[in-house]
Amino acid sequence: MSEALTLSSLPLFPLGAVLFPGGVLPLRIFEVRYLDMIGKCHKAGAPFGVVSLIEGSEVRRPADTGSSGPGGDGFAHETFSAVGTLATITEFSIPQPGLMVIRCVGAQRFEISRREKLKHGLWIADVTRLEDDQAVQVPPDLQGTADALGKLIKSLQEREVPQAQMPLQSPYQLDDCGWVSNRWCELLPIPLELKQRLMQLDNPLMRLELVSDILERTGIAL
């Protein structure tokens, strides 16, 4: 196995969402701490890290009286998952001053080894990139889960949804356990904590089995 790749001082974007490898993430950015960070990432062609919030909100808020976060900076405490996903900016625009509209694609997962909150509220971290999912063929007993996703994609195409508004990005790898399970995880209305656990699973076949169980229990698509 090759030596683990690390990134130092990776800027983080804590969100009330989970970004999966290969997933699409549109963002409207207006907070000063992120406008500067995203602008620099776009100019350098560098990724940033998306992590799911455990406590706190996406927009920085003043702390309640007597309950400011560590360091007493006067803002509400933020905590987030230790495993996240690198985001690469694929579309970037500034429709008006103080607003950026971007579209990102999820790349490798990572695990945080050290985190630091800067004075203006931006989080940075040293991270280790985790191994990509191994390519695993969808087995016959889970083929219905892949077929249902294929039907959903076809339905969106028939409705002529513009590519820029599609919730899934091509190429559509409907024969791959990791790709199919990740796309369902993004689409399903399941709790954030469950999405995070599914994203962190190293076994794409197990992830697809769990997704298939959720689809069967909820009666969605199958």
Question: What are the residue ranges spanned by the domains of the chain?
Answer: 6-129, 140-218
Q: pLDDT value at position 82?
A: 97
Q: pLDDT value at position 163?
A: 74
Query: Residue 3: which of 127, 107, 131 has the closest Cα?
Result: 131
Q: Per-residue pLDDT for 140 more than 50? A: yes
In the 8-state DSSP scheme, what is residue 176?
B
Is the separation of the CB atoms in 84 and 12 below 8 Å? yes
Q: What does the alpha-carbon distance between residue 132 and residue 94 come to, in Å, rounded to a whole number?
A: 33
In the 8-state DSSP scheme, what is residue 54?
E
Is the separation of the CB atoms in 215 and 221 below 8 Å? yes
Q: What does the alpha-carbon distance between residue 177 and residue 123 come to, in Å, rounded to a whole number?
A: 33
Query: Averaged over 91-107, what is the pLDDT?
Result: 95
Query: Averaged over 199-210, what is the pLDDT?
Result: 97
Q: Give phi and psi for 178, each to the nearest 5.
A: -65, -45
Ramachandran sector of residue 202 (left: φ over 0; alpha: ψ -120 to 50; beta: rest): alpha
The CATH architecture annotation of domain 140-218 reads Orthogonal Bundle (1.10)
The CATH number given to 6-129 is 2.30.130.40
Query: Averaged over 110-132, what is the pLDDT?
Result: 94
Q: Per-residue pLDDT for 131 more than 50? A: yes
Where b means 16+ CB within 10 Å and e means fewer, 117-127 reads: beeeebbbbeb
Is the separation of the CB atoms in 103 and 110 below 8 Å? no
Q: Per-residue pLDDT for 215 more than 90? A: yes
* CA atoms within 13 Å, Cβ hemisphere of 218: 12
The more confident residue out of 96 and 58 is 96
Q: Considering the entire predicted model, what is its pTM?
A: 0.88
